[in-house]
């Protein structure tokens, strides 16, 4: 096993084609194909399914692709450190639709004041947890519990957010102070294919609404603003994605969404634990200031409650 084998698989998974991967690695496509064949032969498992029209990673291939990114990134850092060339690296923070809503900017400003030597770079991604597994992020905010059997991730619930209905301006529900799930049952509900916090299962069986799936947050907002559908989301969306054609209303009978902070089970960045503690203490202080107490579960009180 050589590093070129890992670099080959990493490039194939990233580019999605042998031609693109060979170009990224500055080698010929036949050379890349031979390297991949060597890797598969040594492991005794198929890593890439190839046809004349498509290429995709198998289950083992996808897992090794993620690990290859993580291993190669750690190796590059280690070599640079040994050569005395490693400058303090920014802490990479990723999220899907929103970080922690209205708390995001104060939290990051507070970190910057307390830790000016460790800048935070933020990134929006459809699958933030995948960035962690590939070593491309140091911490991520997730709405919904990460996979419990994922040995590569550690996580902790840091806050809760109310569920909010999103309706077009001028909709019969738009002037209400709040709505119930039953009020939305006769509507078409837009679901986002990436980072969704809502599914039809939020409604009781037999009273579930029609749904339409859209590819991303911009399409979700536009679908609602034009009157083609309504939506249900977490409260962080209200602060991260205001829209002149969309009105957000609390859903009074829907359970809140739990926001988790996740990080690699074996953190690479030395400030990972410090940032985790910063997030927890900042949110606890913010909720205590807003509500005068912590929640009965001993953690931060649900946002907006």
- Residue 284: which H helix or E strand, with range? helix 272-291
**pLDDT tens readout for residues 86-133:** 556 789 999 988 888 899 999 999 999 999 989 999 998 888 888 887
Return the exposure string of 162-175: e unless at least 16 CB atoms fall within 10 Å of the residue's CB, then b: bbbbbbbeebebbe
**Which region among 96-100, 195-199, 200-204, 231-235 has the lowest average model confidence (pLDDT)?**
195-199
Confidence (pTM): 0.70
Is pLDDT above 70 for 189? yes
Q: At residue 299, does pLDDT exceed 50?
A: no
Domains of the chain listed by start with CATH number: 3-82 (1.10.10.10), 91-160+257-291 (3.40.190.10), 163-250 (3.40.190.10)
176 confidence band (pLDDT: 50, 70, 90): very high
pLDDT the model gives residue 89: 77
Structure tokens at 149: 């059997």
Structure token pair of residue 18: 């042998």
Give the pLDDT of residue 300: 45
Q: pLDDT band for 12, please (50, 70, 90 cuts).
A: confident
- Which residue, among 135, 138, 125, has the nearest Cα to 98 in the 3D structure? 125
Find, among 72, 90, 92, 98, the residue nearest to 136 by Cα: 92
Q: Give me the pLDDT at residue 71, please.
A: 81
Mapped onto helix, strand or coil, the DSSP state of residue 92 is strand
Model confidence band, residue 157 (pLDDT cutoffs 50, 70, 90): very high
- Rounded to an integer, what distance in angstroms lies between the CA atom of residue 15 and that of residue 127? 17
**Mean pLDDT score of the chain:** 86
Which residues, 6+ apart, have CB-to-CB distance to 217 below 8 Å?
Answer: 97, 192, 194, 195, 237, 241
95: nearest Cα among 135, 139, 134, 133 = 139
- The residue with greater pLDDT, 73 or 241, is 241
Determine what percent of the chain is predicted with pLDDT higher than 90: 45
Break the chain down into helix, strand, coil percent, rounded to 5.
Answer: 40, 20, 40
Does position 298 have pLDDT exceeding 80, yes or no?
A: no
- Please give the average per-residue pLDDT across 48-56, as a whole number: 81
Is 101:70 a contact under the CB 8 Å cutoff? no
Please give the C-alpha separations between residue 177 and each of 140, 164, 180, 251, 253, in angstroms, as whole numbers.
32, 11, 11, 10, 14
pLDDT in tens, 228-277: 999 999 999 999 899 999 999 999 999 999 999 999 888 878 899 999 99
- Structure confidence at residue 152 (pLDDT): 73
How confident is the model at residue 26, as a pLDDT? Answer: 87
């Amino acid at each position: 096993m050589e590093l070129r084998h890992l670099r080959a698989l990493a490039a194939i998974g990233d580019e999605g084609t042998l031609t693109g991967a060979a170009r990224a690695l500055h080698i010929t496509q036949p050379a890349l194909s031979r390297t991949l064949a060597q890797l598969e032969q040594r492991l005794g498992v198929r890593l890439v399914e190839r046809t004349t029209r498509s290429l995709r990673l198998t289950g083992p291939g996808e897992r090794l692709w993620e690990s290859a990114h993580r291993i190669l990134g750690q190796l590059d850092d280690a070599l640079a450190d040994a050569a005395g060339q490693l400058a303090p690296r920014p802490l990479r923070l990723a999220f899907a639709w929103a970080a922690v809503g209205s708390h995001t900017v104060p939290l990051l400003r507070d970190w910057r004041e307390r830790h000016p030597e460790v800048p935070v770079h933020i990134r929006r991604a459809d699958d933030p947890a995948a960035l962690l597994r590939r070593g491309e992020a140091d911490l991520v905010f997730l709405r919904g519990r990460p996979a419990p059997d994922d040995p590569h991730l550690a996580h902790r619930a840091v806050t809760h957010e109310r569920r909010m209905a999103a309706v077009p301006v001028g909709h019969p529900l738009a002037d209400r102070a709040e709505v119930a799930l039953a009020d939305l049952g006769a509507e078409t509900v837009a679901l986002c294919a990436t980072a969704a916090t809502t599914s039809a299962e939020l409604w009781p069986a037999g009273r579930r609404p029609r749904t339409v799936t859209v590819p991303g947050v911009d399409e979700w907002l536009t679908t609602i603003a034009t009157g083609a559908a309504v939506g249900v989301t977490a409260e962080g969306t209200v602060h991260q994605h205001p829209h002149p054609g969309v009105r957000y209303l609390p859903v009074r009978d829907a359970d809140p969404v739990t926001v988790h902070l996740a990080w690699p089970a074996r953190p690479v960045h030395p400030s990972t634990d410090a940032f985790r503690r910063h997030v927890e203490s900042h949110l606890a202080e913010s909720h205590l200031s807003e509500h005068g107490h912590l929640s009965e579960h001993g953690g931060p009180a649900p946002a907006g409650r």
